[in-house]
A = this chain, B = another copy of it.
Amino acid sequence: MFSQSCKYAIRAMFLVAQRSSEGRFVGIKEVAEGLDAPQHFIAKILQDLSKRGFITSAKGPKGGFLIDVNQRNTTLYDLVLAIDGNKLITSCCLGLKDCSEKNPCPVHNDFKPIRKKIHSMLDNTKVCDYNDELAQSVFYLKDAGIGPITN
């Protein structure tokens, strides 16, 4: 459904949205630990999101990432679109380049309502929508597990 980068991006945005909501910057190490994800990979993704204006960054001590008042309106669809492009919503799920109303693949019509649902769901969810649930551990951004056994 989403690329790994995109999954991390969404989770990272949820996390930074929640933890930066009182104004402090959230360090990249904290983000990586909070998601149980590879730090340098997360760094790359956040840098990209920062270039695109979805997140604010600051270097140096007390630096990190923050989602400001305007950025709180970012939707999941904005993120998916920026990272994975619009293929999930617009392109043929059987891989035809010119699948359309006029030239439909066999499942074109069946998938239309599904696509629409995915799109509206992503479009109606903002990165700060679950700040409270995350703070109260109603929702999670990483696995609870005790971690892999490293013999």
Binding site for B on A (CB under 8 A): 1-2, 4, 7-8, 10-11, 14, 76, 88, 93-99, 103-108, 110-111, 113-114, 117-118, 121, 125, 129-130, 133-134, 138-145
How far apart are A137's CB and chain B's nearest CB, in angstroms?
10
Q: Which of B76, B93, B108, B114 contacts A7 (CB 8 A)?
A: B93
In the complex the two chains form, is B96's CB within 8 Å of A125's CB? no
Identical chains in the assembly: 2
Q: Which of B96, B117, B139, B142 contacts A117 (CB 8 A)?
A: B117
Q: Which of A2, A8, A110 neighbours the largest number of chain B CB atoms within 10 Å of its CB?
A: A110
In the complex the two chains form, is A1's CB within 8 Å of B93's CB? yes
